[in-house]
A and B are shown apart, each in its own frame.
Chain A
Amino acid sequence: MERNGKTPITVLTGFLGSGKTTLLNRILTEQHGKRIAVIENEFGEIGIDNDLVVNADEEIFEMNNGCICCTVRGDLIRILGNLMRRKSGFDHILIETTGLADPAPVLQTFFVDDEMGEQLRLDALITLVDAKHVALHLDESTECQEQIAFADVILLNKIDLVAAPDVEQLETRIRKMNRFATLHRTERAEIDITKLLDIGAFDLDRALELDPKFLQEDMHEHDPTVTSVGIEVAGELDEAKLHKWIGKLLAERGTDIFRMKGILAVRGKPEPVVFQGVHMLFESQAGKPWGRGLRSSRLVFIGRNLDRAELSAAVRSCS
């Protein structure tokens, strides 16, 4: 299934034991008729039943300029470059990261490397969470927090091993970190794969679908942990001011902002500007023209040290 002729990429993260291999095997054995290539991490211990498995040995490339947003996965560039040349082609590519992987370099690879962007498109980042053991890691492990924060889809897996009130509590906790991901509760990673593949979470058009109910919240100010912030501002904003503010924000706070996306009502433009970003990398385009209703801008941020009041005031100051 291709959009714009580009092969979709799904990134699968989650700690060791969260069920990544079980989910991979489930996806691969299901009768979906898709030709799927899997790039498995170097520690992938259980055999995966698929001809098209390539083993990747995580190689993080930092660029000479030291900018973290330019940090990419060199091994993926090589392997995907090789896969893209193949005659047979693939309908979908799954990338499994190691349990301790920071998802950012994987995502940034597709923003930074033009050749990857020419033929591939990021579809979604899926994070598996081991409901039984994740509590041990949520406070201490940066990687665990990042994997949840970067996710478009979270599978709260192994819920059969945990008492119902605990699942409830865990879900609330995860929601506070990332309220914009779709969350599914699963046992043995059992889920309809149409909820996982080809969902277009990185499509800029999808930014329009941001649910306003997520934007109303009661979060306290400045939170050093990983949180998500949604902002809605009625009326139109000034393009030059927005430009300046976003540039400054990403330069100063790009390290703390894991993901951001939104839709902006810009004065004088017949259509909204839709955008998304991973750390300091940012892309935007014109959305579908506004209808007759009132125009408003909606932005969401997921990251560390986010101050809702400050972000909100900054957006308002662009009007």
Chain B
Amino acid sequence: MLVKGAGSSETWVALLPDFAQALAWAPDGHALAVATLAGPVFLLDAERGERLAAAAGHGGGALAVAWSPDGTQLASGGQDGRVQLFDRSGRRQAELEASTGWVTHLAWSPTGECVAAAAGKKLRVWSRAGELVTDVDGYESTITGLFWLPGTEQLVTSCYGGLQFVTIGKPEWVRRLDWKGSILVAKPSPKGRFIATGNQDATVHVWETSSGKDLQMSGYAWKVRELAWCEAAPLLATAGAPSITVWDFGGKGPAGKPPTELSGHEERITDLAFLPGSERLVSVGVDCALRVWQRRGKWKCIRHLEAATPLHRLAVSHDGRRVAASGDDGRLTSWKL
């Protein structure tokens, strides 16, 4: 792997064997974990992008990476239907068989005691030692979203047809929120009060978790796969268009309140993330641009950075000081903000 400076000492570009499908910054900020479609999983030095460790990864392609909350373990998943566990420095500890489906999503429990994997139509949860603790097979369609509901010990999955709630040790869903439509992505608000989904039919759906009451936002240009909740304010940023739409969930919620449109990208936006604890939003798009937006009274674009290729996936470090974005041809760019 070549590492080149790209104009600024605070920026690096890593050339990987293939597209970086998933990115995850280590909680302590020392490294970026990368899942590549070529199969290997890499640990790259956060400062310079140099390769700290490389694992053979997953036959057919690696699709997911996730760090345990304490940063001592890394999990990866891929098209081989397997999950691998590594220590902080990238040494492999275990290989677990999830299913014959692709492992597309991984989520560590808030306590770090177990890691959940969505593999096609199956959900598997293992202890950090690699012992299978939960196994849910009732899915009729591929799982498209996976997270632990903040403040609870429940897992939530999404697929075509709605949301499913899972408790550790139970092989069946403990609750469902049905919705006839194809959910592409699902994310909880920071305290879990709301769950938002982006959908194939160019809508965003939001449930109030406790009551199950829902509302729907439409008018998007395309399918919506880009969602980001803000920690510092009750805001939900969505794309599904060349502009970003920010919904305000404060007060009585977004119904009847016009959302804010953030225009600047020239083509499809591919990923969004708020910087931790701030009202600053990062977006990347097919127009090769990375933009940072800030709300101070009004929204404003405060940074506009260009990469050499269209950008598709984005990861923000836990301290909010670094971002990494994956582009075409295995090109991965990191900026210090």
Partner-B contacts on A (CB < 8 A): 57, 59, 61-65, 70, 72, 74-75, 77-78, 82, 85-88, 113-115, 118
Q: Name the residue on A nearest B20 (C-beta).
A: A85
Provide 11 A-B residue pairs closer than 8 Å at the C-beta atoms, listed in order of the A residue.
A57-B101, A57-B121, A59-B141, A72-B200, A85-B19, A85-B21, A87-B17, A87-B19, A87-B328, A88-B18, A118-B268
Q: Are A74 and B200 in contact (CB under 8 A)?
A: yes
Partner-A contacts on B (CB < 8 A): 17-19, 21, 37-38, 61, 63, 101, 120-121, 141-142, 160, 179-182, 199-201, 203, 221-223, 268, 312, 328-330
Q: Are B142 and A78 in contact (CB under 8 A)?
A: yes
Expressed in whole angstroms, the Cα–Cα distance for A210 and B268 within the complex equals 36
Partner of A87, one of B141, B201, B223, B329: B329
Q: Name the residue on B nearest A85 (C-beta).
A: B19
Partner of A70, one of B17, B141, B201: B201
A57 cross-chain contacts in B, Cβ below 8 A: 101, 120-121, 142
> Which of A77, A78, A85 has the most chain B CB atoms closer than 10 A to its own CB?
A85
Partner of B181, one of A63, A82, A115: A63
B223 cross-chain contacts in A, Cβ below 8 A: 113-115
Q: Are A86 and B181 in contact (CB under 8 A)?
A: no
B19 cross-chain contacts in A, Cβ below 8 A: 85-87
Contact A85:B200 (CB < 8 A) given known A74-B160, A115-B223? no
Expressed in whole angstroms, the Cα–Cα distance for A87 and B21 within the complex equals 12
Q: Name the residue on B nearest A59 (C-beta).
A: B141
Q: Are B200 and A86 in contact (CB under 8 A)?
A: no
Q: Name the residue on A nearest B101 (C-beta).
A: A57
Q: Are A82 and B222 in contact (CB under 8 A)?
A: no
A63 cross-chain contacts in B, Cβ below 8 A: 181-182, 200-201
Partner of B37, one of A62, A78, A85, A113: A85
Contact A86:B37 (CB < 8 A) given known A59-B141, A59-B160, A64-B181? yes
B328 cross-chain contacts in A, Cβ below 8 A: 85, 87
> Which of B21, B120, B200, B221 has the most chain A CB atoms closer than 10 A to its own CB?
B200
Q: Are B142 and A65 in contact (CB under 8 A)?
A: no
Expressed in whole angstroms, the Cα–Cα distance for A247 and B101 within the complex equals 42
A72 cross-chain contacts in B, Cβ below 8 A: 200
A59 cross-chain contacts in B, Cβ below 8 A: 141-142, 160
Expressed in whole angstroms, the Cα–Cα distance for A75 and B329 within the complex equals 24
Q: Are B329 and A61 in contact (CB under 8 A)?
A: no
Expressed in whole angstroms, the Cα–Cα distance for A113 and B223 within the complex equals 7
Q: Are B142 and A61 in contact (CB under 8 A)?
A: no
Contact A64:B142 (CB < 8 A) given known A85-B19, A85-B37? no
Q: Are A64 and B222 in contact (CB under 8 A)?
A: no
| A43 CB → nearest B CB, Å | 14
B201 cross-chain contacts in A, Cβ below 8 A: 63-65, 70
| B21 CB → nearest A CB, Å | 7
B199 cross-chain contacts in A, Cβ below 8 A: 64
| B310 CB → nearest A CB, Å | 10
Which 4 residue pairs spanning A and B have beta carbons closest together? A64-B181, A61-B182, A63-B201, A85-B19
| A77 CB → nearest B CB, Å | 8
| A49 CB → nearest B CB, Å | 17
Q: Name the residue on A nearest B200 (C-beta).
A: A61
Given contacts A65-B201, A82-B21, A87-B38, 12 further A-B contacts (CB under 8 A): A61-B160, A63-B181, A63-B200, A64-B199, A64-B203, A74-B141, A74-B182, A77-B200, A87-B17, A87-B18, A87-B328, A115-B268
Expressed in whole angstroms, the Cα–Cα distance for A178 and B328 within the complex equals 42
Q: Are B330 and A87 in contact (CB under 8 A)?
A: yes
Contact A64:B18 (CB < 8 A) given known A74-B141, A87-B330? no
| B110 CB → nearest A CB, Å | 28
Expressed in whole angstroms, the Cα–Cα distance for A78 and B63 within the complex equals 12
> Which of B37, B181, B182, B268 has the most chain A CB atoms closer than 10 A to its own CB?
B182
Q: Are A74 and B142 in contact (CB under 8 A)?
A: yes
| A131 CB → nearest B CB, Å | 35
Expressed in whole angstroms, the Cα–Cα distance for A35 and B223 within the complex equals 29
Expressed in whole angstroms, the Cα–Cα distance for A88 and B18 within the complex equals 8
Q: Are A64 and B160 in contact (CB under 8 A)?
A: no
Expressed in whole angstroms, the Cα–Cα distance for A70 and B201 within the complex equals 8
Q: Name the residue on B nearest A61 (C-beta).
A: B182
B121 cross-chain contacts in A, Cβ below 8 A: 57
Q: Are A82 and B37 in contact (CB under 8 A)?
A: yes
Expressed in whole angstroms, the Cα–Cα distance for A115 and B225 within the complex equals 11
Expressed in whole angstroms, the Cα–Cα distance for A78 and B121 within the complex equals 14
B61 cross-chain contacts in A, Cβ below 8 A: 82
Partner of B180, one of A64, A87, A115, A118: A64
Contact A75:B142 (CB < 8 A) given known A87-B19, A87-B329, A113-B223? yes
| A136 CB → nearest B CB, Å | 31
A86 cross-chain contacts in B, Cβ below 8 A: 18-19, 37
Q: Name the residue on B nearest A113 (C-beta).
A: B223
Expressed in whole angstroms, the Cα–Cα distance for A64 and B182 within the complex equals 8
Expressed in whole angstroms, the Cα–Cα distance for A85 and B38 within the complex equals 11
Expressed in whole angstroms, the Cα–Cα distance for A66 and B121 within the complex equals 24
Expressed in whole angstroms, the Cα–Cα distance for A31 and B197 within the complex equals 46
Expressed in whole angstroms, the Cα–Cα distance for A88 and B17 within the complex equals 10
Q: Are B312 and A85 in contact (CB under 8 A)?
A: yes
Expressed in whole angstroms, the Cα–Cα distance for A70 and B181 within the complex equals 11
> Which of A63, A64, A113, A118 has the most chain B CB atoms closer than 10 A to its own CB?
A64
Expressed in whole angstroms, the Cα–Cα distance for A77 and B199 within the complex equals 13
Expressed in whole angstroms, the Cα–Cα distance for A57 and B36 within the complex equals 23
| B210 CB → nearest A CB, Å | 23
